[in-house]
Amino acid sequence: MSSGDGASKKSKKPRYSRFTQQELPACKPILTPALVMASFISLGITFIPIGVSHLSASEQVVEIREQYDEICVPSNYTNPTTAHQERIRFIQDSRTDKTCTRTLTAPHKMKPPIFVYYQLDDFYQNHRRYVKSRSDKQYRKPRSETEYGDCDPESTFNNMPIVPCGLIAWSLFNDTYRISVNDIAIPINKKDIAWKSDKTHKFGSDVFPKNFQNSDLVGGAKLNESIPLSEQEDLLVWMRTAALPTFRKLYGRIETEIEARDRITVVIQNNYNTYSFRGKKNLVLSTTTWIGGKNPFLGQMYIIVGGLCLFLAIAFIIVYLIKPRPLGDPSYLSWNKNPPAH
Amino acid sequence: MDTSSNIEIIENSYQVPDYTRNSSSQRSISSFQSTQSKTSIREVNFSSELESKPVRHGSTGGADSEGFSASYKEINDDDARLIYINDPEKTNEKFEFAGNSIRTGKYSFLTFLPKNLFEQFHRVAYIYFLVIAILNQLPQLAVFGRGASILPLAFVLLVTAIKDAYEDYRRHRSDKIENNRLAWVLVNEQFQQKKWKDICVGEVIKVFGNETLPCDMVLLSTSDSTGVAYVQTTNLDGESNLKTRYAKQETQMKSPVEGKISGLIKCEKPNRNIYGFQANMDVDGKRISLGPSNIILRGCELKNTDWTLGVAVYAGRETKAMLNNSGAPSKRSRLETRMNREIFFLSIFLVTLCVVVCICHGIWLRRHEDELDLMQFYRKRDYSGPEVENYEYYGWGLEIFFIFLMSVIVFQIMIPISLYISMELVRVGQAYFMIRDNRMFDESSNSRFQCRALNINEDLGQIKYVFSDKTGTLTENKMEFKCASIGGLDFSSGTGNEQVEYSVEVDGMILRPKMKVKVDTELLDLSKSKHSDEGKNVHDFFVALAACNTIVPLTVETDDTSVKLIEYQGESPDEQALVYSAAAYGFMLIERSSGHIVIDIQGERQRFNVLGLHEFDSDRKRMSVILGCPDNKTVKVFVKGADTTMFSIINKSLNLDMVKATESHLHSYSSKGLRTLVIGMRELSTSEFEKWQSSYESASTALMGRAALLRKVANKIENHVTLLGASGIEDKLQQGVPEAIESLRSAGIKVWVLTGDKQETAISIGYSSKLLTSTMTQIVINNNSKNSCRKSLEDGLVMCKKLKIESGATGGGHGDGVSRLALIIDGTSLVYVLDTELEEQLFELASKCSVVLCCRVAPLQKAGIVALIKNRTEDMTLAIGDGANDVSMIQMADVGIGISGQEGRQAVMASDFAMGQFRFLVPLLLVHGHWNYQRMSYMILYNFYRNAVFVLVLFWYVLFTCFTLTTAITDWSSVLYSVIYTSVPTIIVGVLDKDLSRTTLLKYPQLYGSGQRQESYNGKLFWVTIIDTLWQSLAAFFVPLLAYWGSSVDGSSIGDLWTIAVVIMVNVHLAMDVMTWYWITHAAIWGSIIATFICVMVIDALSFLPGYWAFFHIANTELFWLCLLGITVGALVPRLVVKYLVQCYRPSDIQIQREAEKFGNLRVAEIEMNPIIDSPRTT
């Protein structure tokens, strides 16, 4: 008993396509033992050489680091309870002579360019209050000088706009170094230490510092009001806030070679107040290779991971030889494992 | 369904309206609240919800099953609406009833914005988004830039709003068309055309044949002299058969044009019950009661009637069709429920992270309390003003509190809110594939698979119990007249195989029944011989078949103008089959009106007067018709009904042998799976007839308790009837049912059949559908008292144990002995078991049986049985059915499936999914269900991982920033992370990934077990994922940290490195788990990584952001790329190792089959398969 009107109606049958029937051509990879072993071996083979070359590059870097924050304050602050306050008083006093001379020895021959960094420890340039305390608009255009963004509390002085505003600029690092090798003064090239993109686009060449560092509380360096922001490279470097509480910032470059065992004398103007928050200050002289500065971590990691991969590959092979499982063997199917009795 | 006494009817009659009504109203409320913006897929339909029809009404129009209590209850004046017929002014005087213009559109120009937003914010996800975004707007808490925090929410809102606006525009357009349709309305004693929207309650409307009704109206008169009108309710409940409606005799005679029509109708307030209506009408000082058969509803079409007159009682949005216009009910999937538990864990993590951060910050503040004033990077004091004040420092406690709130903002995506949106998208995609599946398209009914509920796709992969209706679900519900036992002789049409086409010529036209029926040649010959005793019997038998029903013959034009087809329209397929077969034997019903019928008997037209008709009802389980024969002298009553009630009224003294023979025939028919009916007849003497007639008339005009009175009259007349014979109607099994059941069984799904049929019929269908096999032990429970039920259950349990011990002794141990038990229980016993303490025992017994057959169950019992399992186990239940009697079961089960078949669309309306054939259950569960479950569970776990790994990377960094929630990763990257960087691949994989091919899944139904065992999503996997997440976040964070420790790297650069590292890691992680790579998958995964690079570049090319050009600086160094490679490998190696070892040494079934699929070991596997237990038994 079939009704004949089915044919006359338009069929609603879905049109066939491989897509709608979920039959598109496809690749179905399976983790076969061979594939897994091969990929682990190849991972091992690629990772170990990378690790080794990274490590050797890291070894080639010659780095001299000198922590000077404690040494460069008068050594008579010995009373542990008061020493901290005395140090702060010392560094805040603008009249005291803060010159400090350190002598270092080059362990190896250092080829130019030798980078001069200052390194701060426990300085949280990534503190939320701090990172947001800037106004990128103000730095770019002279007419935006009243666009303070989140610059408070360093946005105005006596209701006059501070340029550059914000805590970051206010706290600009102001220690200075003079270096002489074997008593011969060596110039530190401070040109092009900042990113070119910052100089051309981020900081205006017609924006000049105004009312900067005029308040009672001096955070750091003062700026020459006749030089536009885009040329204040120390500021630009400082304004690239560091990611981590221990960080280096480029101070300058030395273009002369330093031989091994050369005596390097550094005259430090110890101005910057890291004592208030018990931070540390270091001077770093370092050469570079393709990996940047000295850091063996990545090389070690690569070697460990590579080694582990090789080890796993071998372990898999052994396990496979001892206890192989044929692929797609139906006797492993759950309903075949306990065959029901009939 | 109404009159024939087939057993299926019993199912309907058991409806307890209260229950369904309660549940429906609750559901309708809940569905109202939860429909939200899922309209994109939801059909807009005139859903009848689950309102069950109490009993379909045939002729007399009393609401007989609900009895007099309902239909004759005085309507309270407060709850009534008063309608003055043909006086709309007066009707609307006191209280303006709704006009007939409809507005399905939700919004107008003004209300769109507030209303749409209000609706969208019904989602918890959006509220969460919004609260976080608002928190972020407070200056003290502004973690992200204002734009960055609001943009994603705004984007989602905008897209949804545009979609809603477009849909609403379309609704407005269709409303406009609808409102401007024309109808004839009586104005100033003349019929004028009026737009639909201008029709008011109280107006008299004339509707012509084949027109659609503009509003709900009470019938006043029709073109038929007896006041009958036929309507088709396809738009309302999807049923395509004609329903009869009646005008009251009191109004039928009046002509409205002459202004004679007036009166007052007092009816109930508008409600959504399309099968109920109560009213009184005062006409000419007489009070007449009106029932559901006196009202015709908006959306119906008038058929087979030239015109009708009616008075509008409900208009516009108050019509029943509009009140029922709501969406499908919403359920929540098991996976989602489980997922919410895990989300709870994640919120605990979130709170823990936030607490850790704020406590650490508090300690840091305390330790450095004295230093804060001067510290360059803190600078508590503000010296810029005249007075030195604290700058943005609110004291220790508040600072900690702010830090807590800020950390909630920063870590917000720990709660994967986007997951809910992705899940919805994935489900839409999955639904698309299910709907588009050619293998689930039913050619015969031309119907596609329908997804009505969108949020339980993945439940299809975890079903453990299938509850199936029999008629129309396992069987086709296309009744075929198979056997007849007439006068004690058995005629089984097995002998004659040709299909005979009977036709008659009337007025030069050839009339022919629309459907051909196989006939038994012997019987055909016999039916032509009029004079033998047998011939007489056969004659009466077929007259009974042709007359004793409520079928309406319709003539249909064909291409050949001289040939017309007769189509029998009726509510019961059994009756149709009987009438068609009578026609094939030369007893063709040609015309039916309320007063007479015309039957063409062997080419001779005979007119029978229908003197009375006693409808089918559930107590009597039979119907009868009193006919005045063509000779105008004899009056006969023909009775047709279920054997149980028929044999009690048969006059056995006449021909005991024949009764015995018929009884044995009946038994053999029902054991073949046929539906049986017994037919009897009695000639009435004049006195008897007159007595009956007077009581019939007084009963049918009675104002109080008409239904009960009529029943009494019927019982009186239906007595001492002569047995004519019995008929056996075959309800053929649907194609592929035995195979489907076998597949489901091997998939570990228990199939229960719940039917209203007799036990014998049920058992025989059980055999033919391979549900029962000859090796099974049957436990049959049919008792009439609680105690005997208890005893049977106890016996059953003992038998179970015995069998278990036996099978244990033979060395099975797999519980296989138990799986060969079948429980057969009937509705009467269930009455004593359900909702009593015996339930527990029944559950225990039933769960030990592999097959459970429940026969003679009422709709509510069906729901009760589903609840029995649902409330006691964690197992997922699925109910499948096609009729109104399955509605309660469909709604009770976790997944409800409606078969869009013969019995109307009630089941479909209540269902979550609808399809054309039972056998589609196999691809639906084993293939789509399996895929949906695997995809969805992987997607959920992956989304947890994806968001948590990002949050953890942020968290580790916070530990290095004095716990102040600085993020090295830019705001925009944080926001885009779950929008652009990683969202597309999960959705693509969630929609497209396939672990196994369709062929394999169908071949090895056992693979379905992985979903039942929750192998792809469980607590263990969640915690493993969390541990993996922890490791990966450590790798992603600390490799760059240590590689750049003490270097001059700036925050933005290393932030970019972290962003890209996490995105690559997360996408490669996904790539490792993808099982089927299409080009789309490739495009999505690798494209996302490329898109991330592009986005990061674009963000870093904006000079007003602090991180300007950072990416280009850092990407210029080798270290950057070495870090990326190192992170990806280092983070994912542990996962790869574990995955490999598990796959190799603890392989899941799926894994083995994947390998087999790839390396072609299928041949071996086939041999190892369990042989399918096959029963040779067929009907």
DSSP A202: I
- C-alpha span between A270 and A267 (Å, rounded): 9
Interchain proximity A127–B961, CB inside 8 Å: yes
Q: What phi and psi, each to the nearest 5 degrees, are found at residue B620?
A: -75, -35
Q: Which of the pair, B650 or A110, is modelled with greater confidence?
A: A110
Mean pLDDT, residues B168-186: 85
Mean pLDDT, residues B315-328: 69
Question: How many residues comprise chain B?
Answer: 1179
Counting DSSP H helices and E strands in chain B, the numbers are 41, 39
Cα B686 to chain centroid, rounded = 54
Considering only the beta carbons, identify the residue of B384, B962, B1139 that sits closest to A124.
B962
B856 among the known binding-site residues? yes
Residues of B in contact with A126 (CB under 8 A): 960-961, 966, 968, 1051
Structure confidence at residue B486 as a pLDDT band (50, 70, 90): confident
Q: Which amino acid is at B125?
A: A
- B257 in reach of chain A (CB within 8 A): no
pLDDT digits (tens, 9 = 90+) for B609-664: 888 888 777 667 788 898 888 877 788 899 998 887 788 888 777 778 888 888 88
- B770 in reach of chain A (CB within 8 A): no
B1107 neighbors B971 (Cβ within 8 angstroms) = no
Nearest CA to B8 out of B474, B496, B322, B494 is that of B474
Q: Is the pLDDT of residue B287 over 70?
A: yes
Residues 90-119 of A with CB under 8 A from B: 117, 119
Please, what is the angle between helix B146-179 and helix B112-120, to 10°? 110
Residues of B in contact with A140 (CB under 8 A): 1103-1104
Instruction: Note the pLDDT of residue B238.
Output: 55
- C-alpha span between B423 and B983 (Å, rounded): 11
A interface mutation test: which of B136, B372, B380, B384 has the most A CBs within 10 A?
B384
- A243 in reach of chain B (CB within 8 A): yes
Alpha helices in A159-214, H assignment, sequence order: 167-170, 196-197
Question: Against a cut of 0.90, is the pTM above it?
Answer: no
B853 neighbors B752 (Cβ within 8 angstroms) = yes
> Is residue B710 classed exposed, middle or buried when 0-12, 13-18 and 19+ CB atoms within 10 A define those classes?
buried
Considering only the beta carbons, identify the residue of B384, B1077, B1156 that sits closest to A157.
B384
Paired tokens of A172: 């600009």
Interchain proximity A128–B1123, CB inside 8 Å: no
Instruction: Note the pLDDT of residue A335.
Output: 82
- Residue B1153 to residues B436, B740, B815, B1039, B1073: CA-CA distances in angstroms? 26, 21, 25, 39, 16
C-alpha R_g of chain B: 36
Interchain proximity A342–B816, CB inside 8 Å: yes
Interchain proximity A305–B1077, CB inside 8 Å: no
B886 among the known binding-site residues? yes
Residues of A in contact with B368 (CB under 8 A): 277
Smallest CA–CA distance, residue B272 to chain A, in Å, is 31
Instruction: Note the pLDDT of residue B55.
Output: 30
Contacts of B146 (CB under 8 A, 6+ apart): B136, B137
- C-alpha span between B271 and B51 (Å, rounded): 12
- C-alpha span between A85 and A74 (Å, rounded): 13
Instruction: Compute how many other C-beta atoms are within 10 angstroms of the C-beta atom of residue B93.
Output: 12
Mean pLDDT, residues A134-140: 89
Instruction: Note the pLDDT of residue B791.
Output: 87
Residues of B in contact with A87 (CB under 8 A): none
Interchain proximity B580–A1, CB inside 8 Å: yes
Q: What phi and psi, each to the nearest 5 degrees, are found at residue A256?
A: -105, 155
Structure confidence at residue B2 as a pLDDT band (50, 70, 90): very low
B interface mutation test: which of A58, A115, A247, A335 has the most B CBs within 10 A?
A335
Residues 395-414 of B with CB under 8 A from A: none
B633 among the known binding-site residues? no
Contacts of B486 (CB under 8 A, 6+ apart): B523, B534, B537, B538, B541, B724, B725
pLDDT digits (tens, 9 = 90+) for B53-74: 333 333 333 333 333 333 344 5
DSSP A162: P
DSSP B93: T
Alpha helices in B450-532, H assignment, sequence order: 521-528
Residues of A in contact with B1049 (CB under 8 A): 242-244, 247
- C-alpha span between A268 and B768 (Å, rounded): 101
Residues 800-859 of B with CB under 8 A from A: 807, 810-814, 816
A258-294 burial, b at 16+ Cβ within 10 Å, e below that, comes to beeeeebbbebebebbbbbbebbbbbbbbbbeebbbb
pLDDT digits (tens, 9 = 90+) for B720-729: 888 888 888 8
Q: What is the 3-state secondary structure (H, E, C) of B667-727?
A: HHHHHCCEEEEEEEEEEECHHHHHHHHHHHHHHHCCCCCHHHHHHHHHHHHCCCEEEEEEE
- B480 in reach of chain A (CB within 8 A): yes
- C-alpha span between B1000 and B962 (Å, rounded): 57
Q: Is the pLDDT of residue B506 over 70?
A: no
C-alpha R_g of chain A: 33
- B151 in reach of chain A (CB within 8 A): no
Paired tokens of B767: 């055999």
Contacts of B432 (CB under 8 A, 6+ apart): A20
pLDDT digits (tens, 9 = 90+) for B1067-1097: 999 999 999 999 999 999 999 999 999 999 9
Mean pLDDT, residues B467-487: 82
Q: What is the 3-state secondary structure (H, E, C) of B603-651?
A: CEEEEEEEEEEECCCCCCCEEEEEEECCCCCCEEEEEEECHHHHHHHEC
Residues of A in contact with B517 (CB under 8 A): 1
Give me the sign of the Cα torsion angle A82, A87, A93, A97: positive
Interchain proximity B377–A130, CB inside 8 Å: yes
Considering only the beta carbons, identify the residue of A155, A302, A330 that sits closest to B1164.
A330
Give me the sign of the Cα torsion angle B769, B770, B775, B776: negative
Which residues of B belong to the active site? Answer: 469
Interchain proximity B1149–A220, CB inside 8 Å: no
Interchain proximity B1055–A243, CB inside 8 Å: yes
Considering only the beta carbons, identify the residue of A292, A308, A327 that sits closest to B1117.
A292
Widest distance between CA atoms in chain A: 114
- B1122 in reach of chain A (CB within 8 A): yes
Contacts of B848 (CB under 8 A, 6+ apart): B797, B800, B818, B821
Instruction: Compute how many other C-beta atoms are within 10 angstroms of the C-beta atom of residue B1015.
Output: 16
Contacts of B176 (CB under 8 A, 6+ apart): none
pLDDT digits (tens, 9 = 90+) for B352-386: 999 999 999 999 999 888 888 878 888 888 776 67
Q: What phi and psi, each to the nearest 5 degrees, are found at residue A143?
A: -80, -10
Q: How many CB pairs under 8 A join A and B?
A: 330
Smallest CA–CA distance, residue A294 to chain B, in Å, is 9
Closest-CA residue of A relative to B994 is A22
B858 neighbors B829 (Cβ within 8 angstroms) = no
pLDDT digits (tens, 9 = 90+) for B883-927: 777 878 888 899 999 888 665 667 787 788 988 889 999 999 999
Instruction: Compute how many other C-beta atoms are within 10 angstroms of the C-beta atom of residue B386.
Output: 7
Smallest CA–CA distance, residue B854 to chain A, in Å, is 28
Mean pLDDT, residues B708-716: 85
Interchain proximity A26–B966, CB inside 8 Å: no
Interchain proximity A328–B1053, CB inside 8 Å: no
- Residue B25 to residues B20, B48, B279, B924: CA-CA distances in angstroms? 8, 12, 22, 30
Nearest CA to B1139 out of A310, A324, A316 is that of A316
- C-alpha span between B144 and B928 (Å, rounded): 42
pLDDT digits (tens, 9 = 90+) for B1004-1060: 999 999 999 989 999 999 999 999 999 999 999 999 999 999 889 999 999 999 999
Residue B840, helix vs strand vs coil: helix
Question: How many residues comprise chain A?
Answer: 342
Contacts of A122 (CB under 8 A, 6+ apart): A245, A246, A274, A277, A278, A279, A280
Alpha helices in A61-174, H assignment, sequence order: 80-92, 128-131, 136-140, 167-170
Interchain proximity B436–A14, CB inside 8 Å: yes
Mean pLDDT, residues B163-190: 84
B90 among the known binding-site residues? no
Instruction: Note the pLDDT of residue B497.
Output: 53
DSSP B506: E
Closest-CA residue of A relative to B807 is A341
Instruction: Compute how many other C-beta atoms are within 10 angstroms of the C-beta atom of residue B824.
Output: 22
Mean pLDDT, residues B461-470: 91
Q: What phi-psi label fits residue B621: left (phi over 0), alpha (psi between -120 and 50 degrees) or beta?
A: left
Please, what is the angle between helix B124-137 and helix B395-410, to 10°? 140
Contacts of B679 (CB under 8 A, 6+ apart): B541, B544, B545, B548, B638, B639, B640, B723, B724, B725, B726, B727
Smallest CA–CA distance, residue B809 to chain A, in Å, is 10
B640 among the known binding-site residues? yes
Residues 130-159 of A with CB under 8 A from B: 130-131, 134, 136-137, 140, 152-157
Residues of B in contact with A195 (CB under 8 A): 1109, 1113
Mean pLDDT, residues B111-135: 82
Considering only the beta carbons, identify the residue of B1046, B1122, B1153 that sits closest to A298.
B1122
- C-alpha span between B117 and B160 (Å, rounded): 10
Paired tokens of B678: 């017994």
Q: Is the pLDDT of residue A269 over 60?
A: yes
Considering only the beta carbons, identify the residue of B432, B814, B1045 that sits closest to A295.
B1045
- C-alpha span between B519 and B498 (Å, rounded): 7
Q: Which of the pair, B851 or B952, is modelled with greater confidence?
A: B952
Paired tokens of B1101: 């090319």
Interchain proximity B1161–A127, CB inside 8 Å: no
B575 among the known binding-site residues? yes
- C-alpha span between B921 and B932 (Å, rounded): 14
B755 among the known binding-site residues? yes
Instruction: Note the pLDDT of residue B346.
Output: 92
> End-to-end alpha-carbon separation of chain B, Å?
25
